[in-house]
Amino acid sequence: MVALLGQKVLFTIGDYLGLYNEAFGTSRKASEPPKHPDRLIVRLEALDGKFDHWRPAEILLRSPAKVEKLSQSTLSNFENLTRRINETHA
């Protein structure tokens, strides 16, 4: 997982923007959010205003097959997170 200001980044920008675009009917590209160390959500809010952060997640919840279209990097990040969580319960 990539650390950004002490926070772990799970989704690649492209993967998150795919969910964001579908959730809000936009067509944002990875080059559009301002280049800044802030989280992608904060950078998107600078462009489009505050938004419901759960709506992109809802896309995955309602269409689990979309998980197969996520990048290997995003999938690896979630796998590593799951592994770390499981280690705390062993």
Q: For the chain, what is the mean pLDDT?
A: 89
Q: What is the pLDDT of residue 51?
A: 95
Q: Say which residue, 5 or 2, is predicted with more confidence.
A: 2
Q: How many independent structural domains does the chain possess?
A: 1
23: containing domain: 2-88
* pLDDT computed for residue 2 by the predictor: 56
User: 51 and 24 in contact (C-beta within 8 Å)?
Assistant: yes
Closest CA to 69 of 9, 5, 11: 11
Task: Write out pLDDT tens, residues 45-79.
Answer: 999 999 999 999 999 999 999 999 999 999 999 99
Length of the chain counted residue by residue: 90
- Specify the pTM: 0.85
Cβ-count burial 9-39 (b if 16+ within 10 Å, e if not): bbbbbebbbbbbebbeeeebeeeebeeeeee
